[in-house]
Amino acid sequence: MHYFSTNRVSPHVSFRDAVLNGQPDDKGLYFPSDIPRLEADFVDRLPDMANEQIAFDVIRPYVAGEIPDGTLFEICSETVNFDFPLVPITDRISTLELFHGPTLAFKDVGARFMSRCLRHFSQDNKEKTIVIVATSGDTGGAVAAGFHGVEGIEVVILYPKGKVSKVQELQLTTLGGNVTTLELHGNFDDCQALAKHALADSELQSKVHLTSANSINVARWLPQQFYYFFGLKQSQGEPPVISVPSGNFGNLASGILAHISGLPVKKFIAACNANDVVTRFLETQNYEPHESVATLSNAMDVGAPSNFVRILEIFGNKFVDLKEKLESVSISDEVTAQTMREVYKETGYILDPHGAVGYRALADHLKTEPNSRGFFLETAHPVKFDSVREIIGTFGATPPSVEELYLKQKVSTEMDNDYGALREVLLSKI
């Protein structure tokens, strides 16, 4: 297995080099040369398989022997050593809860897997590795926790000032040590653009070893396939419709990749908020990124989703094939809040705003398919979003890890949207 750039200019690389590079020089994204096909009876065996075995079997072809099997199995075991329950909400709709990890968000899976891969690949390096990550909410906290205290690795996080929740901000800014947090005067797209600029700066790369921990990195993106298999393991009946709250589209891209490998799925729904570039693309075939719009579901506030190019790559850029498997809807803040209130009143289940977007998109879809069932991804714990208590009056019991956060001191550095300032920070880490 090797990895090529979606821009088709940079040379092909190994899994190790794709992880260490983060992004190709031509500013594309790394993509596997082959999509592995699971053994014919793999899905039938899912109910009897441990999650760590599922994870190992799914990821092993992508690693291609560059990590010894014993070490890779240990990495997988550490990555998925928490619960992924499929929780019924109605008789036809369930939610796959992905918030039972250390930072209460689905991104714990990718961050934990990547940090352990990078630790393995960096153990013989004499120079420091600097991991740069842009976050619209949950990514930064998961990356910070995953890499905190890892010897030989420095982490630099960019987040948009005033555009993440209190809990998310505390998870970003209270670790210290090898984690540096930059509070940018701008939006997520500005943060992502600065991170990509740094990764493509050849002069900088000659002085520091820089990689990314956003989902542009294959070690962050590929393991997100795991929990789709965990969801299917717990579901019954015909292949489900799966609704994925979508911002930068890495999560959905990994689910579709799992499907091509052999995961039975009837349909994927890209559940978007007002940032609807993909929704409009599926209607018009015109891909027109725009400035991101602030919404209740802030982690999805992305106007130029990086990972959508990987979805196009999976389908060979054939719009007809893409359209057959994927639909997309845009859910307004008003409908998001209304959904949160209705579901809590009718079922007692507390949705976070991102989950509410996923639920609404799935519920509306199932109205047109009375014999179908499905689940949506609940990507983060409701306590991480101040709006939940404002909308429904509670976000349920506060996890002990969050109570501890409120006792810690925030430490961050404010920064203008200026690449020169970011470059100085990165050079200071040598």
Q: Give me the active site residues, please.
A: 107
Q: Which residue shows structure tokens 């997520």?
A: 188
The H-assigned helical ranges of 174-307 are: 188-199, 202-205, 218-221, 226-234, 250-261, 277-284
Cβ-contact 258, 232 below 8 angstroms: no
Cα(161)–Cα(6) distance, rounded to whole angstroms? 31
Beta-carbon contacts of residue 218 (< 8 Å; ≥ 6 apart): 3, 15, 18, 19, 30, 32, 62
Cα(382)–Cα(269) distance, rounded to whole angstroms? 22
Neighbours of 234 (CB within 10 A): 15
Instruction: Give the DSSP H/E element, type plus range, for residue 413.
Output: strand 413-415
Query: Residue length, the chain?
Result: 430
Q: Record the tokens describing residue 344, joined without a space.
A: 């809590």
Cβ-contact 123, 232 below 8 angstroms: no
Cβ-contact 301, 295 below 8 angstroms: yes
Cβ-contact 373, 238 below 8 angstroms: yes
Cα(308)–Cα(339) distance, rounded to whole angstroms? 27
Instruction: Give the DSSP H/E element, type plus range, for residue 134.
Output: strand 129-134
Cβ-contact 299, 378 below 8 angstroms: no
Residue type, 292: S
Cα(24)–Cα(28) distance, rounded to whole angstroms? 6
